[in-house]
C-alpha cells in the first residue's frame, strides 16, 4: 500500500493509503485529441476509489477530474456506469457488472 492523491473538480481532492487494482484508457492511437482514463483503487480500509479523467490535447480545453469513494463493487458500477470502457475496467478488477434474471 502507498499514499495515493486523487484530483477532483468541484470537490475536495482525495488522499488515502491504497493500491491500484485496475486501469483502462479509451485512447487506441496517438492521433486522438480527447480520451478517457478510468482507475480503480482499493484502500487500506477495504473501500474502493473509482476515478475518471477526461484528457484533452485541444488548445483552450483542460483535463476533467472526478472520483468517488465507494463501499461496494455495486457502488462502483453505479458511479462509473456500464459503457464499454467501464466494463473493460470491471473485467480487469474481477467485478461482475451483470443483471441477474430469474
Instruction: Look up residue 10 and give its three cell numbers.
Output: 468541484
Distance between CA atoms of 89 and 53, rounded to whole angstroms?
14
**Sign of dihedral through CA atoms 20, 79, 52, 86?**
positive
Of residues 71 and 28, more confidence is placed in 71
- Enter the pTM of the model: 0.92
Domain extents in the chain: 2-93
Environment class of 36 (CB within 10 Å of its CB; exposed 0-12, middle 13-18, buried 19+): middle
- Assign 30 a pLDDT band (cuts: 50, 70, 90): low
- State residue 27's pLDDT score: 78
Write the pLDDT tens digit of every residue in 49-86.
999 999 998 999 999 999 999 999 999 999 999 999 99
Distance between CA atoms of 99 and 102, rounded to whole angstroms?
10
Amino acid at each position: 500500500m502507498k499514499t495515493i492523491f486523487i484530483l477532483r473538480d468541484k470537490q475536495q481532492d482525495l488522499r488515502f493509503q491504497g493500491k491500484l487494482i485496475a486501469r483502462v484508457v479509451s485512447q487506441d492511437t496517438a492521433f486522438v485529441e480527447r480520451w478517457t482514463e478510468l482507475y480503480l483503487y482499493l484502500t487500506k480500509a477495504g473501500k474502493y476509489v473509482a476515478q475518471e479523467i477526461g484528457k484533452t490535447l485541444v488548445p483552450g480545453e483542460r483535463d476533467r477530474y472526478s472520483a468517488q469513494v465507494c463501499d461496494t463493487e455495486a457502488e462502483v458500477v453505479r458511479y462509473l456506469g456500464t459503457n464499454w470502457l467501464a466494463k473493460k475496467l470491471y473485467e480487469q478488477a474481477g467485478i461482475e457488472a451483470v443483471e441477474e434474471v430469474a
